[in-house]
Structure 1
Amino acid sequence: MKQRPLSPHLQVYRPQITSVLSIMHRITGAGLSAGLLLLGWGIWSLSRGEEAYQCFIDYVTHPLGKIVVLGFIWALCYHLLNGIRHLFWDAGLGFKMATVNASGWVTVIFSFVLTAVFACLCFY
């Protein structure tokens, strides 16, 4: 039997910024859904009294808790900025490859800048 050519495998595929950002948009959406549990815990602890709220604050201000909160803030900033980018696409704007790539990098950079700003506001 004659061997047929195989399609390229993922190891030879070079990821593009557009595909990586698309995957990250989906991951951050799922992460934000999970992060709502953290937010819900905080609101619930407020209604349960000072002791429950102090327990929540102890977890959130722990170094590992700060990393989780920073991850949630970054996911929120990234998802928001990438969503705005998608709204421009829905309006038919920014479809040239140079614009798509530039707006992708702007989204990534500004998501980290906004995260740093919110981290300073939250923790200092």
Structure 2
Amino acid sequence: MAKPNRPLSPHLQVYRWGLHMVLSILHRATGVALGVGTLLLAWWLISLASGPEAFAQAQSCLSSWLGRLVLFGFTWALMLHLCNGIRHLVWDTGQGYDLDAVRVSNFVVLGGSVVLTLAAWIFAYCMLGGA
């Protein structure tokens, strides 16, 4: 008896891509990025404990344009993961599953992550004096 040649569920031919699907994938990707970013944070802390030369090298690397871009991306990943995690906590209560609420929460998560990222960086630059 031959097995029917059916698509696996969920098969992507049926679904129309939406922002909720992109945010679901981004939530997983930002989780991985936060794991890698934590290694970066550990490297920075180890360099701090290793002495002035190692710390100066780490600071030089992180304050370069590429280092700041990576730190900005890490900050955005943290904020997106946070906002989407809060949305998941709301969903765990059984609220927010209707389509209109999902559409609104999509934009709240995206907008909130951008606003929180920019606020964190503006605050940091104000505290550091634009260093």
Q: When the two structures are superposed, what TM-score results if normalisation uses the length of structure 2?
A: 0.83
Q: CA RMSD in A?
A: 2.0
Give a deviation string over 1:51-85, Cα, whole Å, max 9, x none.
11111110111001000000000000000010000
State the identity as a percent: 44
Moved over 3 A (4+): 9-14
Give a deviation string over 1:15-57, Cα, whole Å, max 9, x none.
1111111000000000000111110011101110111111111
Paired residues for 1:46-57 under 5 Å: 46-57=48-59
- Report the number of matched residues: 120
- AA in 2 matched with 1:76: L
Q: Tell me the distance in 2 between the aligned counterparts of 1:10 and 1:94.
A: 24
- AA in 2 matched with 1:25: H
Among candidates 94, 116, 119, match of residue 117 of structure 1:
119
Question: Is residue 19 of structure 1 aligned with residue 11 of structure 2?
Answer: no
User: Could you tell me how far 1:104 is from its partner in structure 2?
Assistant: 1.1
- AA in 2 matched with 1:14: R
Q: Tell me the distance in 2 between the aligned counterparts of 1:10 and 1:122.
A: 42
Q: Tell me the distance in 2 between the aligned counterparts of 1:11 and 1:24.
A: 21
Q: Tell me the distance in 1 between the aligned counterparts of 2:15 and 2:68.
A: 36
| Structure 1: tracts of 5 or more residues without a match | 1-5
Q: When the two structures are superposed, what TM-score results if normalisation uses the length of structure 1?
A: 0.88
| Structure 2: tracts of 5 or more residues without a match | 1-5
Secondary structure of the structure 2 residue equivalent to 1:95: coil
